[in-house]
């Protein structure tokens, strides 16, 4: 979780002492104060990570060709060094895996013909909504092949979540219109109840924020004109690579929702 340094004054025996302390980026966001850009932003930036992992994703899509039966795909993934960390769905007509190798994770979505039992469609998604076992594997913990399908799979399936959050994403994109200066977007997000949990980039020509509301998170990418300082392009992505502060905010919101 990203933090910022401050000084706290404490009175001890009639003497005022100043000590350094840190305030989490999430608290800073809620308070409306300025936040500095994240350390190692390329680790969390959707725009950066999608570029750097494009070849890996393409290799997976080419290797997992259609026309094969279910067992083939598990064998191929394991042969390529991928660990299957979650089986979200395992139906006669649809199979969905979450896979991990090192710092990389994807969701493999396989549609099958009910009669031939062979795959008619193979999609590889960025895996924005990760099962707990996937998160553990990404941290380096050892995770065994799942003994059963994921509980509440619709909360982790990219295919399901993309459908259920489509209206929310569209609303964000429509509200964050181009042609405005940076501060407008921050005000609009806060007005809509979104908290900025991470500032991945804050440059004259480009701003990138991670935002959270409830169980939802997105990455807001804003290209700015250097002369007018107004946005020429605004993108909203599903935020597969979350900063620590974003993960913590989502966990806190999840805990509050269960109470």
Whole-number percent of the chain with pLDDT over 70:
84
* Collapsed DSSP state (helix, strand, coil) of residue 200: strand
Arithmetic mean of pLDDT over the chain: 87
The rounded distance, in Å, linking the Cα atoms of 205 and 229 is 8
pLDDT for 126 equals: 94
Whole-number percent of the chain with pLDDT over 90:
76
* Collapsed DSSP state (helix, strand, coil) of residue 90: strand
Residues in the chain predicted with pLDDT less than 70, given as ranges, are: 1-38, 259
pLDDT for 198 equals: 95
Q: How many CA atoms lie within 13 A of 249 on its CB side?
A: 28
The rounded distance, in Å, linking the Cα atoms of 245 and 212 is 10
Encode pLDDT of 168-213 as tens digits. 999 999 999 999 999 999 999 999 999 999 999 999 999 999 999 9
Q: Dihedral angle at the C-alpha atoms of 159, 128, 51, 80, nearest 10 degrees? A: -80
Tell me the whole-structure pTM to 2 decimals.
0.80
pLDDT for 4 equals: 44
Encode pLDDT of 215-227 as tens digits. 999 999 999 999 9
pLDDT for 47 equals: 83
The rounded distance, in Å, linking the Cα atoms of 118 and 109 is 13
The rounded distance, in Å, linking the Cα atoms of 236 and 167 is 12
Give the position of tokens 């935020």: 239
pLDDT for 257 equals: 73
The H or E element spanning position 137 is helix 132-138
33, burial (CB in 10 Å: exposed 0-12, middle 13-18, buried 19+)? exposed
């Amino acid at each position: 979780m990203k933090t910022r340094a401050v000084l706290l004054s404490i009175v001890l025996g009639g003497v005022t002492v100043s000590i350094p302390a840190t305030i989490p980026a999430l608290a800073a966001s809620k308070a409306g104060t300025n936040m500095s850009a994240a350390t190692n932003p390329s680790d969390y930036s959707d725009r950066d990570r999608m570029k750097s992992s494009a070849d890996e994703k393409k290799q997976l899509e080419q290797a997992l060709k259609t026309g094969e039966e279910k067992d083939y795909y598990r064998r191929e993934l394991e042969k390529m060094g991928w660990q299957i960390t979650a089986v979200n769905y395992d139906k006669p007509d649809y199979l969905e895996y979450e896979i991990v190798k090192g710092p990389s994770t994807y969701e493999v979505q396989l549609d099958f013909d009910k009669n031939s039992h062979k795959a008619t469609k193979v999609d590889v998604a960025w895996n924005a909504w990760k099962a707990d076992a996937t998160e553990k594997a990404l941290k380096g913990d050892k995770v065994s092949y799942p003994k059963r399908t994921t509980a509440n799979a619709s909360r982790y399936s990219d295919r399901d979540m993309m459908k259920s959050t489509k209206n929310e994403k569209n609303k964000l994109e429509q509200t964050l219109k181009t042609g405005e200066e940076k501060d407008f977007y921050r005000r609009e997000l806060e007005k809509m109840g979104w908290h900025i949990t991470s500032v991945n980039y804050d440059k004259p020509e480009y701003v990138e924020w991670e935002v959270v509301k409830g169980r939802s998170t997105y990455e807001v990418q804003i290209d700015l004109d250097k002369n007018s300082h107004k946005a020429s392009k605004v993108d909203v992505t599903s935020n597969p690579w979350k900063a620590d502060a974003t993960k913590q905010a989502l966990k806190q919101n999840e805990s509050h929702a269960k109470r």
